[in-house]
Chain A
Amino acid sequence: GQSLEQPSEVTAVEGAIVQINCTYQTSGFYGLSWYQQHDGGAPTFLSYNALDGLEETGRFSSFLSRSDSYGYLLLQELQMKDSASYFCAALRGNQLIWGAGTKLIIKP
């Protein structure tokens, strides 16, 4: 089958670093995307990893290990505005297979 697993909820403190993990089981896997969704808002694209390794975009970084079928999103210097749900999505052919999302709760 095809599935992605990510924690349902993660809690962190403002200013800290948090890692959101995503494991996948998907045949024909091309790469892993990450999206952010604020409550009541639309998902917005954050990053995409096609190759193993770390991709950095400002405070956010995303990592992929194809051999471990695993990826993560790393958020640094957390700000209250980072409170949102984060989705990983695997690219399979011309379709994204979505995880259930991780709700990130940030405490002051």
Chain B
Amino acid sequence: DSGVTQTPKHLITATGQRVTLRCSPRSGDLSVYWYQQSLDQGLQFLIQYYNGEERAKGNILERFSAQQFPDLHSELNLSSLELGDSALYFCASSASPVYEQFFGPGTRLTVL
């Protein structure tokens, strides 16, 4: 158990819909990262937050947005969903050493 929690574990929705994925980092970790992993693919970095502020942006679509709240939990919002958005979405957190990230169990999103 990494100490990072993600909800929900599974999500099934239809094209055009909007969903929110939630992540709680390890206690004390200020940085939160969001990744997308499609079937048998590598990890695609989406976005990073540090203590409530956006720190880095990766290949995040305009239909996707995220935020980190004062209690440090983070939410990833995906809107106008398409079939291709079906993937595993991971949240990770880290303390000072950015190279050591702790991953949550992921949210498996299926868009039908």
Interface residues of A (CB under 8 A from B): 30-31, 33, 41-45, 48, 87, 89, 91, 93-101
Q: B13-21, B66-74, B97-105: which one contacts chain A?
A: B97-105
Contact of A43 among B41, B50, B56, B90 (CB under 8 A): B90
Contact A96 B99 (CB under 8 A): yes
Does B64 make an interface contact (CB < 8 A)? no
A contact residues around B48 at 8 Å (CB): 94-95
Closest residue of chain B to A32 (Cβ to Cβ) is B99
Query: Chain A interface secondary structure, helix, strand, loop or mixed?
Result: strand
29 A-B residue pairings within 8 Å (CB atoms):
A33-B100, A41-B105, A42-B2, A42-B103, A42-B104, A42-B106, A43-B90, A43-B101, A43-B103, A44-B2, A45-B102, A48-B97, A48-B99, A48-B100, A91-B98, A91-B99, A94-B48, A94-B50, A94-B55, A95-B45, A95-B48, A95-B56, A95-B58, A96-B98, A98-B42, A98-B43, A99-B42, A100-B42, A101-B42
Query: Chain B interface secondary structure, helix, strand, loop or mixed?
Result: loop
Distance, CA A100 to CA B98, complexed state (A): 19
How many residues on chain B are close to A (CB under 8 Å)? 24
Interface residues of B (CB under 8 A from A): 2, 31, 41-45, 48, 50, 55-56, 58, 90, 92, 97-106
A contact residues around B103 at 8 Å (CB): 42-44
Closest residue of chain B to A95 (Cβ to Cβ) is B56
Distance, CA A97 to CA B99, complexed state (A): 10
- Shortest C-beta distance, A28 to chain B (Å), equals 13
Contact B100 A87 (CB under 8 A): no
Residue from B43, B48, B104, B105 whose CB has the most chain A CB atoms within 10 Å: B43
- Shortest C-beta distance, B34 to chain A (Å), equals 13
